[in-house]
Amino acid sequence: MSQALDENKIGGLGVSRKRVEDNRFIRGRGNYTDDIVLPGMLHMEILRSPLAHARIKSIDTSRAWEIPGVRLVLTGEMAATRNLAWMPTLSYDTQAVLATDKVRFQGQEVACVVADDPYIAKDACEAIDVEYEPLPVIVNPEQAVAEGAPLIRDDKAGQADNVVYRWEVGDQAGTDAAFEHAAVVSKLRLHYPRSHPSPIECCGSVADFDRATGKLTVYMTTQAPHIIRAAVAMVAELPEHLIRIISPDIGGGFGNKVPVYPGYVCSILCSILLERPVKWIEDKTGNLISTGFARDMYLDGELALRADGKILGVRMHAEADHGAFFADAQPSKFKIGLLHSTFACYNVPAAHLTARGTYTNKAPGGVAYRCSFRVTEAMFFQERMVHQAAKDLGLDPAEFRRRNFVRADAFPYRTPFGFLVDSGQPEACLDVGLKAVGYEDFLRQKEEARRRGRRLGIGISTMTEPLGAGNSREYDILGIKMFDSAELRVHMTGKALLRVGAKSQGQGHETTWAQIVSHELGIPADDVTVEEGDTDTAPFGMGTYASRSTPVAGAAISMVSRKIRAKARKLAAHLLEVSEEDLEWELGRFSVRGVPEHGVTIQECAMAAYGNMPDGMEPGLENHAYYDPPNLTWPFAVYIVTVEVDPETGVWDVLNTVAVDDCGVRINPMIVEGQIMGGLTEAYAMANMQFITFDAEGNCVGSNYMDYLLPTAWETPGFELHSEVVTPSPHHPIGAKGVGECAAVGGPAAFVNAVMDALDDTGVRNIDMPLLPDRVWEALTQHHDVS
Ligand code: MCN
Ligand code: CUN
């Protein structure tokens, strides 16, 4: 008789286990960077530039120094004496820590003050007198490359223009040939506006340099503590063993907390200079105007089409606005991120992509906000182009997609841009989505409503995206390969401590990682403590972004658990006095083959590892695993949105949103659903209301929550989620694929396509996001595209 454990009862794979971290979060007992209070701690505030582009003629700090309680007023000139006025970015560029020569965007860090409390520091910042000489301002790529444009990066030797890079991929000749044979060429010019992740918690750090031990400890809001340690080691020229980066609880990251920011560096430098702990906590405006934003990309896209709807070729040119410093945290090899992951779920014979990045007088960044290294732009452009191509051909957009999908039996499929898409069931997912939304029925309603002057629309977005960077052949940041890690200690009673190189910002890792251990070893999830975010204790990992944690760190957790199981097997053989080959594993227990009642539990094996190991065996039950994934994971998703547009006002309401996500095996279905709902909310926000724009002087419009609109529960529509289709990743140890970003990546196009569909008799091909009522109204009344 089998005594196998029921995985559902111990919180294993596929269980909607309640989030253990929420116990402290919802009681207000989280431990965030601002909760860290150290003896003798001082407070730092940053003075930011009011101008977007200006030469600094002088900085006079004398009035600030006179304010009682001020301990240090730091300028770029002083930082320069320590070689810290500039720092390297994660994309092999340089970024000013504190401006010395010029300011290059509004909100740039110019000086900082350390004082006994943050209010004194803030007041003292206002007492710093900076004399600026304004320069002409550049706020978009077109201006950046125009004749006679002022040179933004005159600090860089050999930089003669405002171009950061030119990049291309694909087959130009083959694509040109495809266009020659096209019956129809469908063209679209699109802009994905700048937006911001805007986590509830802004960025911050508490730097604590101890002169006596020489050790620097920094508590900070980072999604990637080990990358920060490497960066600090390089910039501050401190050895790594004397640097400890601790990322405590994080109040949302969304990619905003990957880059290295001047505030972090300044707090470290100030702590070293003052030999006191220094805390810096950014305010909301500082966060919105100076830290890693998202998107800001223009596209010229063309599809070569056969009359029956077959896509023959894709041509794309992208212009990316990187702001004043190229600071993207992304794989070094790919200058415009993974934009070339576009069209991966469609069978496209030929494709060519060119891209240009430009410097502008705006904050640096671009890779953030559930973007998977710009897959968000890739899928938005793709699905807008696909929608328009179907309309140009007079085909049904669902049918057009179906005709072009890579078929389920055609995987692994190599895209013309070189990605190997290894699995997926596009058609099956689309079927589920169309049925759920009642597609045919809605099309009839739409026609009927149109006759009565009402405008209904339906928008589809289907996509697969590469998640889980990544295999070390292709993916690195600053030369460090993008593997990840886990370390597992099973104590003698069978309880365990799991340490992981990723770092949750709210995704629920403490809950889900324990479930993987539980699935592999049969140790109840409640018996596994998960720790992340401390470089002195966690194994080296590249952190959490690009939905890589499950694909990479999650795989490492499986692998380390299997190493533990292999040793437990030896212990079980010893305890049961049989050879290892005679043992059978069932969840949580080894038994003698053919004699199931004769067995030992994993907990008994653990005890033996400390009290009764065979001769010659090393005691203990601990191990670690570093995991270098063979490929990315390829989740597939279908998002379908129905809307009604009010022709009088341009206001549109979402009637229904259906999401079909196939992210392979789900570790915790409830958490996955939370991730999808969050992503859909962001998708809706970007389509409907959310963007940061700049006036001609480079003033940021979107520096506060009056101008930058976050949807509340009131505006956010309801979502219907589906999980019927499950295609396990063929290489991930438990078949899981990443999911954290999917809905934010694929969602926006579904909302926009729905509104465009409601306008499909007006001749309007595009309205740029966000589809604000006035833009929609203009398109409706003037019958032209609106950007
Ligand atoms: N999961 C699962 N089964 C799967 C895939 C994932 O149960 N097949 C679970 C994971 O165990 C994890 C969560 O879903 O608890 C997300 O997993 P994954 O897709 O691996 O993504 P990451 O953990 O790497 O999270 C990063 C991703 C990114 S890049 C952004 S941006 C984002 C996002 O997650 N930021 C977030 N979701 C967020 N959610 C919250 N609450 N806060 C953020 O800052
Ligand atoms: Cu690009 S936002 Mo997430 O990868 O941290």
Residue 198 CA to ligand 2 centre (angstroms): 12
Task: With beta carbons less than 8 A apart as the criterion, state whether 329 and 223 touch.
Answer: no
Are 618 and 715 within one domain? no
Instruction: Please report whether residue 62 resides in a domain.
Output: yes
**25 and 45 share a domain?**
no
Q: Which of 550, 729, 742 to mutate to test the pocket of ligand 1 (most atoms within 8 A of CB)?
A: 550
- Strand segments, DSSP code E, in 438-594 are 455-464, 476-477, 480-481, 484-490, 496-500, 528-532, 583-586, 589-592
Same-domain pairing of 587 and 501 = yes
Within-domain flag for 757: yes
Q: What is the pLDDT of residue 1?
A: 45
**Residue 161 lies inside a defined structural domain of this protein:** no
Catalytic annotation present for 370: yes
The low-confidence residues of the chain, meaning pLDDT below 50, are 1
Residue 653: CA atoms inside 13 Å, Cβ hemisphere, count? 8
Task: Name residue, tokens 């760190």.
Answer: 553
Residue 674, CA atoms < 13 Å, CB-side half-sphere:
12
Strand 70-75 and strand 42-48: pairing? unpaired
CA 369 to ligand 2 center in whole angstroms: 6
Nearest to 105 by CA among 387, 309, 399, 363: 363
Quick check: is 176 in a domain?
no
Tokens representing 625 are: 């695993």
**Annotated catalytic residue 371:** yes
Contact 356, 144 (CB under 8 A): no
Domain boundary among 594, 627, 660: 627
Compute the distance between CA of residue 249 and CA of residue 261 in angstroms, rounded to an integer. 19
Distance 475 CA to ligand 1 centre (A): 20
Give the number of the atom of ligand 2 that is nearest the alpha carbon of residue 197. Answer: 2
Q: Are strands 215-220 and 243-246 parallel, antiparallel or unpaired?
A: parallel
**Any atom of ligand 2 within 6 Å of the Cβ of 369:** yes
255 lines ligand 2 (CB under 6 A): yes
Looking at the structure, tell me whether residues 661 and 687 fall in a common domain: yes
Residue 366: CB partners within 8 Å, gap ≥ 6? 292, 293, 294, 295, 296, 297, 320, 321, 322, 323, 328, 374
Enumerate residues 6+ apart whose C-beta is below 8 A from 4.
586, 587, 588, 589
Q: How many CB atoms lie within 10 A of CB 180?
A: 10
Among the candidates 627, 649, 668, a domain finishes at 627
CATH of the domain at 556: 3.30.365.10
176 CB-contact burial (10 Å; exposed 0-12 / middle 13-18 / buried 19+): middle
Same domain, 24 and 50: no
Q: Are residues 517 and 650 in the same domain?
A: no
Please give the DSSP secondary-structure letter assigned to residue 553: I
- 221 and 275 together in one domain: yes
User: Is 89 within the bounds of a domain?
Assistant: yes
Structural domain for 622, as ranges: 7-30+484-627
Q: Is residue 254 lining ligand 2, measured as CB closer than 6 Å?
A: yes
The verdict on 603 and 692 lying in the same domain is no
- Is there an atom of ligand 1 within 6 Å of 668 CB? yes
328, part of any domain: no
Of the ligands numbered here, which is closest to the C-alpha atom of 679? 1
Sign of CA dihedral 407, 409, 410, 413: positive
CATH, residue 209: 3.90.1170.50
Same domain as 513, residue 560 = yes
With beta carbons less than 8 A apart as the criterion, state whether 354 and 300 touch: no
Q: What is the pLDDT of residue 171?
A: 98
Q: From CA 48, how far away is CA 690, in angstroms rounded? A: 24
Q: What is the DSSP code string of 620-652?
A: S-EEEEEE--SS-B--EEEEEEEEEE-TTT--E
Length of the chain in terms of residues written = 787
Tokens, residue 765:
């091909």
- Round to whole Å and give the CA distance between 574 and 249: 43
Residues 131 and 233 in one domain: yes
Ligand nearest to the CA of 549: 1
Burial category of 438 from C-beta neighbours within 10 Å (exposed 0-12, middle 13-18, buried 19 and up): middle
Report how far ligand 1's centroid is from the alpha carbon of 388 (Å).
Answer: 32
- Which is catalytic among the residues 17, 315, 741, 775? 741
The alpha carbon of residue 394 and the mean position of all alpha carbons in its chain are separated, in whole angstroms, by: 36
Whole-angstrom Cα distance, residue 84 to residue 560? 40
Q: Does any domain span residue 356?
A: no
- Indicate if ligand 2 lies below 6 Å from the C-beta of 368: yes
Rounded CA separation 305/540 (Å): 48
ipTM attached to this prediction: 0.99
| Residue 48 annotated in active site | no
pTM of the model: 0.98
User: What whole-number distance in Å separates Cα of residue 89 and Cα of residue 106?
Assistant: 19
Q: Is 501 in the pocket of ligand 1 (CB under 6 A)?
A: no
Of the listed 48, 194, 315, 370, which one is catalytic?
370
Percent of the chain whose pLDDT exceeds 90: 98
How far is the centre of ligand 2, averaged over its atoms, from the C-alpha of 223 (Å)?
9
Cα–Cα nearest to 10, from 599, 526, 666: 526
Rounded CA separation 668/15 (Å):
5
Residues 676 and 733 occupy one common structural domain: yes
718 and 778 assigned to the same domain? yes
| Overall domain count for the chain | 3
Residue 334 belongs to some domain of the structure: no
Q: Which of 627, 648, 675 is the last residue of a domain?
A: 627
Q: Are 195 and 691 in contact (CB under 8 A)?
A: yes
